[in-house]
Amino acid sequence: MVSPLIVVIAITYFAYWILEFLLARPKNFPPGPIRIPIFGSYLYLLLRDVKHFYVETQRWCDKYNSKVVALFIGSYNAVSVNDLEGIRRVFLCNDFDGRPFPYSVQLRSWAKRLGVFFTEGPFWLEQRRFTLRYMRDFGFGRRMERLEYIIEDETKLMIKLIEEGTKNPYNAGLVKDGRLIYLPEFFAAPFINSYLAVLTGHPLPEESRPILRKTTQSSILFQLAADATGGIISILPSLRYIFPKLSGYHGITKGHEALMDLMRDIIKQRKNRGFTETEGFIDFYLNEMKARKEAGGYTTFSDDQLLLIVADLLMPASSAVQSQLGMLVERLIHNPEIQDKIYNEIKTVVGSGRLPTLDDRPNLPYCEATLRESLRIDTLATLGVPHSTLVDTTLHGYSIPKDTIVITNLWQMHHDEKVWGDPETFRPERFVTEDGKGLAKDQSLPFGLGRRVCAGETFARNTMFLIYTGLLQNYKLTVPEGHPLPDLNDRLNGLVISPKDFWVKCIPRK
């Protein structure tokens, strides 16, 4: 029979261990909630609202009176930084240039660090440098006349679809007679096709729209199943066998595999055509990979790496950017007077005989300011892409150990009253100078900053500007008769936020 003394000692030891686990944290670590065995702080999110992580962490900042709060995602140390100064330090200091590698990320890269989003160190530096260098040549990071023509053609096709309605079967469900369009999916094809033109030199023909729609739907499936913390599946990977949908496993794997299938087919086509002419980024990469393999020795270039690079960048091009434009349209429907200001500026500067171009952009400050205000108030990637510390470092006077996950709460920073005054008001004028002729200082960081800035920022900003101004030049947007105004607070949340699907009526301006 076990001695009662031994039982008391065992219970006391176990209680002490639990208490130490709950309260223990690295020396001078930021304040935050206690951690729970297995889950860490993530259990609080599950019990409250895991999809609104960006709101919950601000509550913790208010509770602990701190600009940065400690989290524990499973067994990992993590912090969330919520203010402009702290977020800028994370983006600009090399100490924070690492990337976490949770199970949810491993699922999409065969448990290898590949691509550009979730790699780090010399491998990431070499691959990112090459990727940006040669994608720029095709308009991804700088202006390129040929890509602008492609975007112009996509905008004209978009207007043609609005006018023709359901004439073509492959547009069924996207447009209806009476100039009705289904958002945000209606915007997807122009962005994907423009991105494919960067990769291959050529957009897909109009009859390929079903492929682009499938890609968009798959990308959205992935985005909604994942989140910036890695999710419950990264804490308990075995849940994928018990709750494949609830854990996010189904959405992550099915959604990402569809994107990979499209990219595999495109890369295969480029390989089969040989290397007679370099027409896009994929050709440059294949040529470089071939040359390095022939030279012998170690190389970071591989088929899998190419596949993950193009898939990394396809994800925002196929779902995120169209979601941003969808939310912009929601704001414009709620604020028709802003639509009129946009139209009047375009009418004065551009007229009606041609579409707006990037040459017009400096003379369309209100149009640009409206896009910037949309990127601020409806922060697409609410928590950005998580960083991790490469060394022991500091943040707001706190000690942040090496390998700590660092989450940048961009949504909160973009809604900080100290920075924006009236952050909940959709007011493009905040980005315009007092005389209305130029752009004021922009403190928003929707694409990040520094070496980890989103590689597709220039491409996304340029393409969104051209497509949305082309649409507003020709139409006034409203809801169809009998439809309620979109609910601006009813968003789909995941890796990015997105509006729920809704119909929009396009009323011709002429």
The string of pLDDT tens digits covering residues 96-117 is 999 999 998 899 899 999 999 9
Whether the predicted pLDDT of 273 surpasses 60: yes
Query: pLDDT exceeding 70 applies to what percent of the chain?
Result: 94
CA distances from 205 to 190, 194, 412 (A): 11, 12, 41
Architecture label for domain 97-379+414-508: Orthogonal Bundle (1.10)
Pairing outcome for strands 405-408 and 76-81: parallel
> Tokens 């209305």, residue?
436
Cα within 13 Å of Cα(293), Cβ side: 9
Whether the predicted pLDDT of 497 surpasses 70: yes
Integer Cα distance of 193 and 202 in angstroms: 8
CA distances from 129 to 141, 291, 336, 452, 457 (A): 12, 17, 43, 12, 15
CB 231, CB 248: distance < 8 Å: yes
| Confidence class for position 17, pLDDT limits 50, 70, 90 | low
What's the topology of domain 1-96+380-413? 3.30.43
- Look up the pTM and report it: 0.93
- Residues in Cβ contact with 2 at an 8 Å cutoff, skipping those fewer than 6 apart: none
Whether the predicted pLDDT of 18 surpasses 70: no
In this predicted model, what pLDDT tens digit does every residue of 140-190 receive, in sequence order? 878 888 899 999 999 999 999 999 887 777 777 889 988 999 999 999 888
Integer Cα distance of 371 and 469 in angstroms: 10
Q: List phi, psi (to 5°) of 180.
A: -105, 135
Domain extents for the chain? Answer: 1-96+380-413, 97-379+414-508
- Residues in Cβ contact with 13 at an 8 Å cutoff, skipping those fewer than 6 apart: none
Tell me what pLDDT residue 316 has. Answer: 83
Tell me what pLDDT residue 15 has. Answer: 60
H or E element, residue 176: strand 175-176
Same fold, 1-96+380-413 and 97-379+414-508: no
Task: Considering only residues 217 and 45, tell me which one the structure prediction assigns the higher pLDDT.
Answer: 217
In this predicted model, what pLDDT tens digit does every residue of 19-42 receive, in sequence order? 555 666 889 999 998 888 888 888
Whether the predicted pLDDT of 13 surpasses 60: no
Tell me what pLDDT residue 498 has. Answer: 92
**454 annotated as a binding-site residue:** yes
